[in-house]
Amino acid sequence: MKIISWNVNSVRARITNILDYIQTSKPDILLLQEIKTQDESFPYEDFKKIGFESHVNGQKSYNGVAIISKVKVANVKKNFINDELKQSRIIKGEIHINKKKINIINVYVPNGNPIETEKYDYKKKWLDKFILNIKKELDKNSNILIAGDFNIIPEENDVYDFKRYENDALGKLEIRKKFRELLNLGFKDTYRFINKNKVEYTFWDYFAGSWQKNYGMRIDHFILSNNILENIKSININKKPRSKTKPSDHTPIELIIN
């Protein structure tokens, strides 16, 4: 089974790129973030035509997440945490891989910049609630796959110039510690688990030629609970979509799990 996570930066502005990408990359499940549209204007039909059902937690203009799937997704929930700002940042569902029931949690973690504002506090509180609820979730089902845009640079080699991000909401130690706290519940950052020292990114700014200069960062992640690690076949950051015309600023990360 191929599961892909991609922050598309607007599903409607990107629909052609997304459909082209599905044709070549052939996911079974596509987890989207920043769809930037409410449920009623989501392009359900475009995905239905090519055999995918869509589960959407949308929001006007900002945020929004969706699960696009060829396989049946059960028990879809949009209220995994109580979001104080009522932003649409999580969608959860259940799938089966072999005989394991796996909870899939698709997240778009708040950015948190600038750090001296309430936006940073919102990110910290959001992560605290998320970690607490994941802890509770583990008591019910220990097969958990969390994927999405975490807006967290896990380690210094996950960004082109760490010095520029050590006081940023994506790179601050306080935030990276929360990421470690999540992993310490019994998860692995799958990309780093498979690739011990490889330097690759999932995001490049639109401006200042960041893509051309490879000024990027690795902030999109697959976080898998320890007892499904044995099911991993491969994980790959696919840079192609970032090189296309009208690209998202993020590129997809692709997991094959059996």
13 sits near DNA (criterion: CB under 7 A): yes
Residues 68-107 that bind DNA (CB under 7 A): none
Among 93, 110, 148, 252, binds DNA (CB under 7 A): 110
At closest approach, how far in Å is the CB of 154 from DNA?
13
Residues 181-240 that bind DNA (CB under 7 A): 203, 205-208, 217, 219
Strand ranges (E), 114-214? 144-149, 187-189, 203-204
Cα(6)–Cα(237) distance, integer angstroms: 10
Report the residue count for the chain: 258
Question: Residue 171 in contact with residue 111, Cβ under 8 Å?
Answer: no
Cα 208 to chain center, whole Å? 25
Cβ-based nearer residue to DNA, 53 or 166: 166
113 sits near DNA (criterion: CB under 7 A): yes
Of 34-42, 92-100, 174-182, 230-238, the segment contacting DNA by CB under 7 A is: 34-42
Among 19, 28, 38, 142, binds DNA (CB under 7 A): 38
Cα 6 to chain center, whole Å? 6
Q: Burial, 234: exposed, middle or buried (Cβ in 10 Å; 0-12, 13-18, 19+)?
A: exposed
249 sits near DNA (criterion: CB under 7 A): yes
Cβ-based nearer residue to DNA, 9 or 226: 9
Count residues contacting DNA (CB under 7 A)?
33
Cα(253)–Cα(194) distance, integer angstroms: 13
Cβ-based nearer residue to DNA, 16 or 141: 16
> Cβ of 133: how many Cβ atoms within 10 Å?
15
Question: Residue 90 in contact with residue 106, Cβ under 8 Å?
Answer: yes
Footprint of DNA (CB under 7 A): 7, 9-10, 12-13, 34, 36-38, 41, 60-63, 110-111, 113-114, 119, 149, 151, 164, 170, 203, 205-208, 217, 219, 246, 249-250
